[in-house]
A and B are shown apart, each in its own frame.
Chain A
Amino acid sequence: EAGVAQSPRYKIIEKRQSVAFWCNPISGHATLYWYQQILGQGPKLLIQFQNNGVVDDSQLPKDRFSAERLKGVDSTLKIQPAKLEDSAVYLCASSISYEQYFGPGTRLTVT
């Protein structure tokens, strides 16, 4: 069974630029999560989707971050404009029940 796929794996941008990350969950997993992991910290939830509906986006900085999950499968997370403090690894996870499985992540560096 294929795992969670993410792209790109690495991205370097300048502050105030925009960036987008893509995630394809494990087949059949209805729930998809985006987490932000800053170096030395545990992952922090940004947004949770159930099929193509948002369940929780309370910690998403909505002035600059947006996410969508069209057709209940793939998802895209966008940052516009990026700030220096957005430098982190962006992890996508999916689940069919309680256990969440993570993709390889996208390492974002904002200079």
Chain B
Amino acid sequence: QKEVEQNSGPLSVPEGAIASLNCTYSDRGSQSFFWYRQYSGKSPELIMSIYSNGDKEDGRFTAQLNKASQYVSLLIRDSQPSDSATYLCAVNSNSNSGYALNFGKGTSLLVTP
């Protein structure tokens, strides 16, 4: 069973701080890793993708991947109340010839003013 694990939270950080979200996965053959943001009552929105070890930065977001440790993280700098949402970690699993995603249960982030 290919699993993706996240702390459910809630993770509470003050406005302006760095929020750190973590995710581990069980399938060593995974090649693609994604972070989705999901506001309450809305659908998941892709915010970051990462495919190789190391860091990838996009604005206030940094994704970090360590395939040896089977670990992927998302850092949100200068957190804003509008960042309050559930963050879903997703990992691809090669299913036949497709690239279906296995999702974690998500981490709830609350940014307090």
Interface residues of B (CB under 8 A from A): 4, 32, 34, 36, 42-46, 49, 51, 88, 90, 92, 95-106
Instruction: Flag if B34 contacts A99 (CB, 8 Å).
Output: yes
Instruction: Flag if B96 contacts A56 (CB, 8 Å).
Output: yes
Residues in A neighbouring B51, C-beta threshold 8 A? 98
Residues in B neighbouring A95, C-beta threshold 8 A? 99
Q: What 3 pairs across the A-B complex have the smallest Cβ distances?
A: A42-B103, A55-B98, A56-B95
Could you say which of B42, B92, B100, B104 has the most chain A C-beta atoms within 10 Å of its C-beta? B100
Residues in B neighbouring A98, C-beta threshold 8 A? 32, 49, 51, 92, 99
Instruction: Flag if B98 contacts A40 (CB, 8 Å).
Output: no
Instruction: Flag if A40 contacts B105 (CB, 8 Å).
Output: yes
**B78 to chain A: closest CB distance in Å?**
25
Q: Which residue of B lies closest to A3 (CB)?
A: B43
**A91 to chain B: closest CB distance in Å?**
6
Instruction: Flag if B100 contacts A45 (CB, 8 Å).
Output: yes
State which of A42, A55, A102, A105 has its C-beta within 8 Å of the C-beta of B106: A42
